[in-house]
Structure 1
Amino acid sequence: MKVTLQLLASAVGGILFMGVLLFLPAGTFDYWQAWVFIAVFIVGTMVPTVYLAVKYPDALQRRLTSGPWAETRWAQKLIYVGLYLTVVAAGVLSALDRRFGWSTVPTAVVVLGNVLVLAGLLLAEGVVIQNKYAAATITVEREQPLVSTGLYGIVRHPMYVGALIMMAGMPLALASYWGLLTIIPGFFVFAARITDEEKALRQELDGYDEYMEKVHYRLVPGVW
């Protein structure tokens, strides 16, 4: 019952947050791209979340505990705020773009943006299914196993790959090219989060140093 109420509150809160974030700066509700984006975002988050609630409730509970207040490392508290502000900036800039007509984005590109948003969300949720200890905060639990296969055999932080794909698709889904500028600070914020996270993992998760020698890249194979 508690989890059900948390999911309902999360869905309602997400819709309200996205509504204010997009329609207020756009100055209108006549913004079909925003309506579609919100629908895609809610479906892309809630369907996997319900699946986790049924199959892996412990993993879901780890995902529901989030926010800067839930982080134990001060660096991560600040970085989490940076991630939040980056997403807000992407939404507001895209909505302002809609309001003032800075970009002319074809419908096909909007569709592509929504595909990227959905793919990024599903990838991130797929990581949780593979690694039940993939929490929303930087934490290592007692007897937590090191996952080094599947997506983790390609890059060390596949969940963040999904988040970046979603962030890249968001401005396009909202019919904005200018919103793509937020990807740049977003990447650096994720880089800071990953760098600090790996310090904790090397100290607290057995075998992580050896894993880093096996899987060399954090986000993009052959690049970083």
Structure 2
Amino acid sequence: MIARLIVQTLLGLAGMGVLLFGAAGTLAWPGAWCYLLEMGVLGVWVGVWLARHDPALLAERLGSFVQRGQSAWDKFFMASVVVVWCAWLILMGLDARRLGWSSMHPSLQGIGALAILVSMVAIRSVFRANSYAAPVVKIQSERGHKVSDSGPYAYVRHPMYAWAILFLVGMPLLLGSWWGVFCVPLLVVGLAYRAVLEERMLCAQLEGYAEYAARVRYRFVPYVW
């Protein structure tokens, strides 16, 4: 499974690199190289940790974005995510390098790198608390799916999405793209839309989730939403 993790990580990095540098029109983009290096190191680190502590979850995380048992609306959502993600990378390549629309201070790029690091470390804590944190929305009956309410789930119902917001802010900062930053609110709206639909399914199909949702009031940020 480690070999599969490394192969998929390299393929993902290569795909992002093609989009970023292709849109930039140059390989002379330190921010993009730093982003790819950071994502490679952190991705393998989290994956190796999962291989040791929760190989079943790692298998889920390495699965396809379209799976049997996945909600139909989520299949459409994930297909849309692929398109939006690619368009976002291309926009940031055009903005930060080819067209030079943005000018960002190196300190902000450093903050972006730190935000990515913090988000990935925090997401590992989410995996520790929830063995069913698959990338797709489905009930994992074959794995004895049950409600996770410990760790970060004691404070918000979707801690992975919450930390993903920090990642989404950090990424365009590190790449030096203000236009990428301006797109983040739209991406957050997409996450919020998915969270609401996911909760409807879980309340209907996962025993105890409705009671959990009533007990833990907030989805992403305590006292906000």
The alignment's TM-score, normalised by the length of structure 2, stands at 0.93
SS of alignment partner, residue 108 of structure 1: helix
Q: Does 1:111 align with 2:110?
A: yes
Q: Which ranges of structure 2 fall in alignment gaps of 5 or more residues? A: none
Matches of 2:67 and 2:100, distance apart in 1 = 38
**Structure 1 residue 123: deviation in Å?**
1.9
Q: 2:30 aligns with which of 32, 47, 53?
A: 32
Deviation string 1:67-96 (CA, Å, 9 cap, x unpaired) is: 135662111011112322332233211111
120-129 or 102-111, larger mean C-alpha shift: 120-129
Q: Name 2:44's counterpart in structure 1.
A: 46
1:50-129 equivalences under 5 Å are 50-69=48-67, 72-97=70-95, 98-129=97-128
Matches of 2:82 and 2:170, distance apart in 1 = 16
Q: How large is the Cα RMSD of the aligned pairs?
A: 1.5
**Structure 1 residue 196: deviation in Å?**
1.3
The alignment's TM-score, normalised by the length of structure 1, stands at 0.93
Q: Which ranges of structure 1 fall in alignment gaps of 5 or more residues? A: none
Percent of aligned pairs sharing the same letter: 33
Deviation string 1:24-47 (CA, Å, 9 cap, x unpaired) is: 000000001100010111112110
104-113 or 73-82, larger mean C-alpha shift: 73-82
Matches of 2:67 and 2:23, distance apart in 1 = 28
Matches of 1:70 and 1:43, distance apart in 2 = 31
199-208 or 134-143, larger mean C-alpha shift: 134-143
Alpha-carbon contact 1:89-1:182 (below 8 Å) kept: no
Give the length in aligned residue pairs: 222
What amino acid maps onto 1:153 in structure 2? A
- Runs of 4+ in structure 1 deviating by more than 6 angstroms, as ranges, are none
What amino acid maps onto 1:103 in structure 2? S
102-111 or 176-185, larger mean C-alpha shift: 176-185
Deviation string 1:162-204 (CA, Å, 9 cap, x unpaired) is: 2221111111010111111221221121122111111111112
Q: Name 1:153's counterpart in structure 2.
A: 154
